[in-house]
A and B are shown apart, each in its own frame.
Chain A
Amino acid sequence: MSSYVELQVTTHYSFLRGASSPNELFATAVCLGLDALGIVDRNSVAGIVRARRAARDTGLRMIAGCRLDLDCGTSLLVWPQDRPGWSNLTRLLTIGKARGGKGHCILHWDDVADYAGGLIAALVPDLPGEATDAALERLRAIFADRAYCALSFRRRPRDQERIAALHAAAHGAGVTPLATGDVLYATPENRMLQDVMTCIREKLTIDQLGFRRERHADRHLKSPQEMARRFKRWPDAIAATAELAKRIHFTLDDLAYQYPHEADPGLDEQQTLENHVWAAVAARSDASQALVDQLKHELRLIAELRYAPYFLTVHSIVRFARSTDPVHKGDPPKIPILCQGRGSAANSAVCYVLGITSIDPIASGLLFERFVSTARQEPPDIDVDFEHERREEVIQWVYETYGWTRAALTATVICYRPRGAMREVGKALGLSEDLISALSTQLSGWGGDGPGEREIKALNLNADDYRLSLAFDLARQLLETPRHLSQHPGGFVLTRDRLDSLVPIEPAAMVDRQVIEWDKDDIDDLKFMKVDVLGLGMLGCLSRAFELLETYRPQAPRTLVDIPHDDPLTYEMIRRADTLGVFQIESRAQMSMLPRLKPKHLYDLTIQIAIVRPGPIQGDMVHPYLRRREGKEPVTYPSPKIEGILKKTLGVPLFQEQAMLVAIHGAGFTPQRADQLRRSMATFKVTGGVQHFRDELIAGMLKNGYTRDFAERTVKQIEGFGSYGFPESHAASFAILAYASSWLKCHHPAIFACALLNAQPMGFYAPAQIVIDARNHGVEVRPVCVNASRWDCTLEPREDGALALRLGMRMVKGLANTAAAELIAARGDRPFASVTAAWERSGIGAGALTRLAEADGFHALGVARRQAIWALNGLGDAPLPLFATIESDSSGEPAVALKPLTAGREVVEDYVSTNLSLRHHPLSFMRADLRQQGIVRCGDLRGMDKKQVEVAGIILVRQRPGSAKGVLFVTLEDESGIANAILWPDRYERFRAEIHGARMLAIRGRVQEEGLVIHVVANRVRDLTPMLLGLGERDFKPEVSRADIIRNPPARDPRDFPKAREPGPGSWPWRPTIPIQTRDFR
């Protein structure tokens, strides 16, 4: 043990202050010959768990601590001596954070005095003097012989003098002098990054920063010899560091975690769980012997690992969601919340019989101990998805049930991503706003090596510009540095004892939320229990659909479980890729895979969902799998062991678990090592976190007699999982939802469309496409109507027994929910007879009614759109009772003839006010012109394989996936359907102006038909936007939706910038235009 221990080290979890990660600090410490580091972040212990991990990896000792910046300006370093000391520290921080609100911490001397037990403290003095003497006195009074005074060299004038005076003052007050390095970064080279962080924190450029820079030099780690040399006049201060370290017995391993108490009276947790399980089995009619055996096996394993409380907690949460019991006494019965579990342990027989998931583990052959193994020694992982809109109820119930002192959300550490890093560094270095935005736009596809030559060239920038190259360099350094803590969307930590005695809790940005300082990896590391309470839009949609089924189709299934399994009609529809709106398998990529994969069972859907992912695509697993499935390639296994693992997926590893098992059985990894591999797959998104496993894996597999080719493909796939891992258990849970939504779409298209529209925004498609799809499936869709619509879309039974879909007022842009509710309430069963009547009876003001008129909502009264608007424009906000007849009487006005709308204009107005039209597709108006140009309809491409064609349509989607190496996919829509075009990078470069500027395109190219999938490989692109603008009257201008710039390109709307209006003929001012929502994906 060397004589010096560095006790004052700040990591980058002191956000925008510390410039080095715990890993860098410990690695440097090893090189310098230090034995232990004391981590003291500012009013936080957020980095402690990572520091512990770094310490473990390097074999050094980590001393947990914290720097408390008190409200009076005094700073103290504290290190817990023992477990009670730690609890005091976390309670202290919790108090300060509660007082300071999100991101702040307010503490006073009195608080420190209250929680001083078990803590060792050191004053961080500035200059010697009365203030320091007083602080030392106070410290001595509180901490007695546990009081120290930190002495650090600042490399400023009169340093020796200052330290000598402080040393003397400490002695005078009976406080032990303690040498510290006040470390902000690992090595001297990190100083520039630290300056930039200060700039970001102070929101200044480096030129403006001046004396706000950290002004004390030499804030890097130093070797024990160097510290001893510097403090040679005060060897006692050096010796004190080692003594202090010896007094500390606390390690994070002391944080014994306890599950919340769930057991029934008189029973222990395991017994309670078993009771629940066997009761559930008894209630089932279909319990097979295999299931019972499996349950017994699982319960034995659970007992052995003592996981029963965990399953009980998840069960309680799910039971609450499903129950109809009122939340509070006196409330009406609760409507059950649809939910489904997923995650490794979720697909167990126990979860199945308890209703946490709907996947039968026997039928799908998922084995429990694959996920909960004795080797892993950590809690199982169950995520529960709830209806998106109702997740908050569950969260609040958890807080209420487990108590505010025992439940909190985990944090997520928000780190700098390429764009943000570039933007912040650019600002700090004073680059111009234009340059910064250009740079960060270019950086979207930033890979592992960060920005460099390529971006500079792409932007025609001067690579020799010093500031610019500095900016790139520093942005690269800033990458992955934590910026702040945010709340995890739904990861709960629940404990039996006070949670704040384990970890500091802080209020979140959202009201009624509190967050701990550690993220989910930290929690995993400490083996705390975590339950993920997540929101899923599709569950909300399904819940609405089940409600509608109950109303209109009483015979139909009422829950996920009741839906008939393996319905042939549904799978037939899925195989046709007729899956618009369906969960997960609705994206372009998924759709194009469906006809090739030809799913027939639920497990096929599981594979389908998992296979169209960056992991398998980058690992080149898709084509081998398809070839084997289609019988074009023999199914072979490199060894019998691997056959056991990969049989289900025809010898091609597709799931994360399979990759792990291959590593264990193929390369001889220990389960722990495989677990590290899994962790690195999940954590390191950017650079080769998996890289250092690579050689080990390949070597191991070669040794065990596998071919290099197989080994390399496996490694490649595991690397792919790094960008997006997808375990089989998740895919299986998603497959259930995909199947359920497909079944609904197949058998109850009107109900499905209605539920989907009411659950918007969600999924891949806009309401317009959902409506078109519903109509293609024979659903009658009725327009928004003042007398028939409610806020949500509704169903109206037709005489023939079918259901018609009535669009709700939620589709009308600019109409508030409250106004619509008042209107509907005023309507009652008595329809409005006229525009004026609606205005008088509802009292919601002419403005709100005008929105409805713009959507042609008065059509049913025989009042055309413009006439209704004209009438409403003449009315005030609310009718005056006394003058009602006089005020509202527009009959005395001279009649005004308004130009009727052309058919094309009607469509445009429909789009403007509801984003869709039930009349005609915009392109149907120009079909004659298009035909003359030789353009074929999108729906007519079948059977035209290898022919040169030109198609035209409105751009629905532009997608440039990162995995597709610069290839752009464009989806066009016309009145007959959609067409998918592929642009190779050279074509994209050639036509980038058209592609980004247009709303309507004509694409000429060769048809490529592969089974049911048809693409047009583009070689020429024309911008047909003027035709779209000319729709109806040749007087439209495209409008940019305010929502998202990139998503909705060309803004030629002069209202955006009236000053720069271009004079001249034909340059018309404002026109309503079709606001088609092009969606851009990467």
Chain B
Amino acid sequence: MKKWKKIAEAYDLRIPESDIERIAPSLDALESAFRPLTKNIPDDVEPAITFRVLPETDE
């Protein structure tokens, strides 16, 4: 499992150690469920986020 405390320190997130201990089981569970899913994403699948460029209009 990931070392959440070290990640928090590296990012300077200033999360108290006791709070990290409290959330670590939830993060570990999510990691177990989510990580295997990422192994099989075809390269051509784009994220489901929309960003539209609209033509300029004269106003």
A binds B: no
B contacts, CB < 8 Å to A: none
